[in-house]
């Protein structure tokens, strides 16, 4: 839960009076045009920056006000998939995944390797354990980064523009994988994106940020917002394409 958050850089306020809650097991999108503060909000939510005002809570506990040691413990309940995947280029995919396990768990090397193989299997990368990031495609890097984000069995996974740099087919496969992981693991997903295909295909709910407003101008299911929200800024963003994916009967 985010309560009355204000954040920015130096003396520049980018977001203010931002409040919203994410439900357990929800696929929740933060959307909006370039420069509206989507990635800024994400960085504050995962603790890379401290807000100038307001509170971020996880499971009823303040993350913002927690002592450093407790914040580190709370961070173990998060997984993060960064926009550029952020895999260690000098490590194999197995080593990328076992690194947080080695740092934060008492598992043996054999157990860490087994868990890495399981996570790679969950993202359809079985057999690629010994490959380096430079040896796989961009879409495979995203999936490997997702496997690493799942390494510690997080309650929440944060995504920063996961479809950036991917072709439409690969992006759709990643969306399908997000749905599959939510269904099998019950993981809550918080996704920063401006990609309408993903937003309309997998989002349960969205908040839309707007640069001039420095905050949220709409919240709800994206299809419902398209049909009923009268704000021209919301309609302009959501009507960037003519056809929506077909809904199941």
pLDDT profile of the chain (249 residues), mean per 10: 89 91 96 91 92 93 93 90 90 95 93 96 94 94 94 94 87 93 94 93 96 95 94 92 46
Residues spanned by the domain of 125: 87-153
Q: Which pLDDT score, from 0 to 100, does residue 244 have? A: 47
Q: Which pLDDT score, from 0 to 100, does residue 207 have? A: 97
Q: Which pLDDT score, from 0 to 100, does residue 10 have? A: 78
Q: Does the residue 172 lie in any domain?
A: no
Q: Which pLDDT score, from 0 to 100, does residue 166 have? A: 84
Helix spans in the chain (H): 38-45, 68-75, 93-104, 109-122, 138-149, 168-185, 196-202, 222-228, 232-238
| Measured torsion, CA atoms of residues 66, 72, 74, 77, in degrees rounded to the nearest 10 | 170
Q: Which pLDDT score, from 0 to 100, does residue 9 have? A: 81
Q: Does the residue 17 lie in any domain?
A: no
Please tell me the pTM assigned to this model: 0.89
Q: Does the residue 248 lie in any domain?
A: no
Q: Does the residue 119 lie in any domain?
A: yes
Q: Does the residue 209 lie in any domain?
A: no
Q: Which pLDDT score, from 0 to 100, does residue 241 have? A: 55
Cα 58–Cα 62–Cα 66 angle in degrees, nearest 5 = 120
Q: Does the residue 31 lie in any domain?
A: no
**Number of independent structural domains in the chain:** 1
């Amino acid at each position: 839960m985010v309560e009355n958050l204000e954040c920015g850089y130096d003396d520049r306020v980018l977001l203010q009076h931002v409040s919203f809650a994410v439900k357990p097991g929800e696929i929740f999108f933060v959307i909006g045009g370039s420069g509206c503060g989507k990635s800024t909000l994400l960085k504050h939510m995962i603790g890379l920056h401290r807000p100038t005002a307001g509170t971020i809570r996880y499971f009823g506990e303040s993350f913002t006000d927690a002592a450093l040691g407790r914040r580190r413990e709370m961070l173990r309940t998060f997984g993060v998939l960064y926009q550029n995947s952020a895999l260690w280029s000098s490590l194999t995919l197995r080593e990328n995944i076992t690194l947080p396990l080695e740092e934060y768990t008492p598992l043996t090397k054999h157990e860490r390797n087994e868990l890495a193989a399981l996570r790679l299997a969950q993202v359809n990368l079985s057999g690629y354990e010994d490959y380096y990031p430079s040896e796989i495609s961009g879409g495979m890097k995203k999936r490997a980064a997702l496997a690493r984000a799942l390494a510690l069995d997080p309650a929440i996974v944060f995504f920063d523009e996961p479809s950036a740099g991917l072709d439409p087919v690969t992006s759709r496969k990643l969306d399908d994988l997000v749905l599959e992981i939510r269904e099998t693991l019950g993981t809550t997903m918080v996704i920063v994106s401006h990609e309408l295909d993903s937003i309309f295909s997998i989002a349960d709910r969205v908040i839309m940020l707007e640069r001039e407003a420095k905050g949220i101008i709409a919240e709800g299911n994206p299809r419902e917002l398209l049909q009923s929200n009268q704000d021209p800024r919301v309609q302009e963003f959501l009507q960037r394409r003519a056809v929506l994916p077909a809904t199941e009967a």
